[in-house]
């Protein structure tokens, strides 16, 4: 289920502005890879190229290849909508559908995918909410609106919604930045559990979080303002935080810039 991501020669543009330049890396299945680097270096842009969401932005354009196992997501005959089902995304601000119940928030993607028998749907919703460590907190109010939950609960609801459709990859863009420390730890624990089943990429500005949750860490940087972001290095997280190969990585993680 979880797939390897092989990225080669990937650049992304907003109109004439090149936001990221010539990125190549491999993301191993059943692992967590953290993207770190200063604001504006293209982490979110790069993440969005991995499920073909970048091209939805006006002027958004991508060069290069993204292979999911052996399939190039940018091949001509590939349907971007199908890609976004296979490669799920969780955003910085929890974004449950505000008028929908907790149940319907999780069921939304499943219903789009086709018809489920009523009890099968309930089964998958429960399994997804359990998977997101939210079931016990919401099982008695599944018909209440998702927007009535706390921020941390809403983010776990969004994770439940993302995993309900059984993606192969889960992309998370600063999923804890709007959360308190307790909710943050709950999400981090959850990421540790989810990596048994999914390939996970997480963008974070929190170095402790990268060190806690990820197996591999990729450091991105730009040479100067206005220049495109580049991948500086990717390595085992332990090594990035103890003995990185590049001085700029060391400067960044020790808080000397960014």
Contacting positions for ligand ATP (CB under 6 A): 14, 17, 19, 39-45, 57
Per partner kind, with CB cut-offs from 5 to 8 A, the member of Mg ion, ligand ATP, none near residue 94 is: none
One residue of 11, 33, 44, 249 binding Mg ion per CB under 5 A: 44
Asked if 221 contacts 231 with a C-beta cutoff of 8 angstroms, the reply is: no
Q: Does 45 bind Mg ion (CB under 5 A)?
A: no
Q: Which candidate, 171, 183, 240, 165, places its Cα nearest to that of 210? A: 240
Strand intervals (E) in 15-51: 17-27, 32-36
Which residue's CB is nearer to ligand ATP, number 65 or number 230? 230
Nearest approach in angstroms of CB 10 to Mg ion is 17
Cα angle value 149/87/188 (rounded, 5°): 45
- The interface region with Mg ion, picked from 25-33, 38-46, 65-73, 164-172 by CB under 5 A, is 38-46
Shortest distance, CB of residue 58 to ligand ATP, whole angstroms? 8
Least distance from Mg ion to the Cβ atom of residue 47, Å: 8
Q: Count CB neighbours of 163 within 10 A.
A: 24
Query: Per residue in 194-224, is it b (16+ CB within 10 Å) or e — as a string?
Result: bbebbbbbbbbebbebbbbbbbbbbbbbbee
DSSP code, position 114: -
Segment interacting with Mg ion (CB under 5 A) among 42-50, 104-112, 138-146, 162-170: 42-50
Residue 101 or 206 with smaller CB distance to ligand ATP: 206
Could you say which of Mg ion, ligand ATP, none residue 151 binds, taking C-beta under 5 to 8 angstroms by partner kind?
Answer: none
- Binding-residue total with Mg ion (CB under 5 A): 1
Buried b (16+ CB within 10 A) or exposed e, 27-41: bebbbbbbbbbbeeb
């Amino acid at each position: 289920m979880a797939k390897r991501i092989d990225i080669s020669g990937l650049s992304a543009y907003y109109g004439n502005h090149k936001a990221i330049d010539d990125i190549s890396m491999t993301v191993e299945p059943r692992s967590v890879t953290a993207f770190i680097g200063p604001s504006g270096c293209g982490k979110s842009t790069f993440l969005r190229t991995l499920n073909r969401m970048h091209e939805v932005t006006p002027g958004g354009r991508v060069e290069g290849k993204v292979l999911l196992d052996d399939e190039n997501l940018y091949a001509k005959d590939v349907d971007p909508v199908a890609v976004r089902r296979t490669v799920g995304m969780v955003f910085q601000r929890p974004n449950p559908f505000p008028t929908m119940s907790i149940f319907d928030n999780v069921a939304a993607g499943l219903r789009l995918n086709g018809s489920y028998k009523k009890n099968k749907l309930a089964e998958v919703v429960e399994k997804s909410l359990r998977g997101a460590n939210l079931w016990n907190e919401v099982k008695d109010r599944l018909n209440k609106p998702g927007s009535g939950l706390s921020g941390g609960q809403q983010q776990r609801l969004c994770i439940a919604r993302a995993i309900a459709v059984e993606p192969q990859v889960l992309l998370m863009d600063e999923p804890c930045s709007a959360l308190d420390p307790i909710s943050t730890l709950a999400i981090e624990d959850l990421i540790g559990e989810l990596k048994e089943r999914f390939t996970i990429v997480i963008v974070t500005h929190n170095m402790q979080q990268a060190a806690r949750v990820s197996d591999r860490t990729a450091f991105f940087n730009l040479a100067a303002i206005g220049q495109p972001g580049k991948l500086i290095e990717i390595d085992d997280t332990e090594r990035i935080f103890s003995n990185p190969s590049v001085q700029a990585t060391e400067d960044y993680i020790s808080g000397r810039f960014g």
